[in-house]
Amino acid sequence: MLVEILYNEEILLHYYKMGLLWSLPSTIEAGQFLMFRVSDGIDPFLRRPFGIYRTISIERGSKKLGGVEILYKVVGKGTGLMAGLRQGHKVDVLGPLGVGFSGFDGDGKLIMVAGGVGIVPFYLLAEGLANKDSRVQLLFGGRCKDDLPGLLDFENLGTEIKISTDNGELGVRGAVTELLKKEVSDDSTVYACGPKGMLKEVARIARERGVPCFVSLDKIMACGMGACLGCAVKVNGRKSRYTAQNLSPYKMVCKDGPVFDAEEIVWKEL
């Protein structure tokens, strides 16, 4: 589907927010994504997956129109081309796709663990819980203070936030997983999105404490719908403690995820 770019703004060094004018489905799950064609040409040929950060609305004359916002980091040729797109440009997107976060019923404490651009799936979640009695906490880690995109958005929601940076510029010095060790309790549910090493350690900590943990995985995708089998991830092939279904040896991150029960993943082969 061709959609119009409403804005494309750099919010931190190498981090951008892009607004897309889009006829929204009735609901979008926190953690779902869209497949974005970066260029009208053949290079780069494949679409790129980007998590949906939040929904937006604008007024045009007497009409109120809806859309979505993505938050992305420039890391290569494709995202470099995206950063050059301007307001009014039309781009080809598919979505929303994938399975989002679930498993938290409002009881106990929800801990969201994010590393850098891994903050993306959590805004919709925090926004939906902002006016409820749920205990929600964001543990946000980055290399430095300029590696914490969207921090002000969560502060405006009133989310409880604890921050870590590798260089100690903001929050405590060290890995965000060290914060998790201190904050996790027996009634916690842990959601995580970020680098593979961080996710692996989050899963280990949650398993050690015996609490549910759900992770959003990042894999290269070609189709976004499970047809190309390019984003397969090996799973345990047994029943999870927190889900009832029998697990098959492999699942597709795009179709079966990107959010998985951490118990399913064979971490040593990820």
pLDDT tier at 66, thresholds 50, 70, 90: confident
Which residues are paired to 161 by β-bridges? 138
Same domain for 170 and 73, yes or no, is no
**The token pair that represents 155 in the structure block:** 């502060």
Q: For residue 86, what is the domain's CATH number?
A: 2.40.30.10
135 within some domain: yes
What is this structure's pTM?
0.91
Last residue of a domain, one of 49, 73, 97: 97
What amino acid occupies position 142? G
Same domain for 51 and 169, yes or no, is no
Same domain for 159 and 232, yes or no, is yes
104 within some domain: no
Q: Is 259 left (phi over 0), alpha (psi -120 to 50) or beta?
A: beta
**Residue 138 phi/psi, 5° resolution?**
-110, 125
pLDDT tier at 85, thresholds 50, 70, 90: very high
What number is the average pLDDT over the span 129-143? 91
Say whether pLDDT at 24 is over 90. no
Counting the structural domains of the chain, the total is 2
pLDDT tier at 41, thresholds 50, 70, 90: low
Burial class (CB within 10 angstroms; exposed 0-12, middle 13-18, buried 19+) of 120:
buried
pLDDT tier at 183, thresholds 50, 70, 90: very high
Say whether pLDDT at 127 is over 80. yes
Rounded to 10 degrees, the C-alpha dihedral 207/209/212/213 comes to: -60
pLDDT digits (tens, 9 = 90+) for 228-263: 888 899 998 655 555 555 556 889 999 999 999 999
Contacts of 51 (CB under 8 A, 6+ apart): 31, 32, 33, 70, 71, 120, 121, 193, 216, 258
